[in-house]
């Protein structure tokens, strides 16, 4: 596991803010023509598995607590509620934990049985460190150790795993509604 410098969170946040500002600036410069305003997303939304509001990234731990049980206090969290191809709801959350909480959670979950290897597809909205890990490996997924996430279950999310990403303080919670 890695130790995070106290200022690392501020630097990570600053890096994300700068990236978002650059992206917004680039996108807004394309919209400065004389063409009438058209909702360019209307066709895309009709064919997508979920709408934009349900697919929005959220970093509010209290919002997440309203959806699932969280048996610890995370340092950071980012999550999305998605729809699967078979129209089931899926909740995908990435937590940053203190090394102590990370270690105790992993020990507690491992006490009920060994974890199993699992690949986690890295989404664009995942924290920078995880996207960089995937890019460095040349893959779109990173490997981890998965355990049943039963202590997180809260209807309708009653199936899924929590995946520990090695040599980091990240865990990925992947739950589905039955």
> How far is it, in rounded angstroms, from Cα 97 to Cα 77?
9
H runs (alpha helix) in 98-173: 99-110, 128-137
Q: What is the mean pLDDT of residues 83-88?
A: 83
Strands (E), the chain: 76-83, 89-96, 116-121, 141-148, 157-164, 170-177
pLDDT digit string, tens, across residues 121-171: 999 999 999 999 999 988 899 999 999 999 999 999 999 999 999 999 999
Confirm whether pTM is higher than 0.95: no
pLDDT digit string, tens, across residues 42-74: 232 223 333 444 568 999 999 999 999 999 999
Both tokens assigned to 134: 């995937």
Would you place residue 4 in the very low, low, confident or very high pLDDT band (cuts 50, 70, 90)?
low
- Please confirm whether the linkage preceding 156 is cis (ω < 30° from 0): yes
């Amino acid at each position: 596991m890695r130790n995070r410098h106290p200022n690392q969170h501020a630097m990570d946040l600053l890096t994300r803010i700068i990236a978002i500002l650059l992206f917004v600036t680039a996108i807004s410069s394309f919209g400065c023509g004389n063409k009438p305003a058209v909702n360019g997303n209307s066709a895309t939304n009709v064919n997508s598995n979920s709408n934009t509001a349900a697919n929005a990234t959220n970093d509010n731990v209290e919002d997440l607590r309203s959806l699932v049980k969280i048996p610890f206090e995370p340092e950071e969290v980012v999550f999305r509620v998605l729809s699967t191809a078979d129209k089931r709801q899926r909740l995908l959350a990435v937590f940053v934990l203190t090394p102590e909480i990370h270690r105790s959670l992993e020990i507690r979950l491992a006490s009920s049985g060994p974890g199993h290897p699992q690949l986690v597809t890295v989404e664009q909205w995942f924290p920078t460190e995880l996207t960089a890990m995937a890019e460095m490996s040349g893959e779109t997924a990173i490997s981890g150790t998965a355990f049943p996430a039963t202590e997180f279950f809260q209807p309708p999310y009653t199936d899924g795993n929590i995946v520990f990403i090695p040599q980091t303080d990240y865990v990925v919670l992947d739950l589905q509604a039955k």
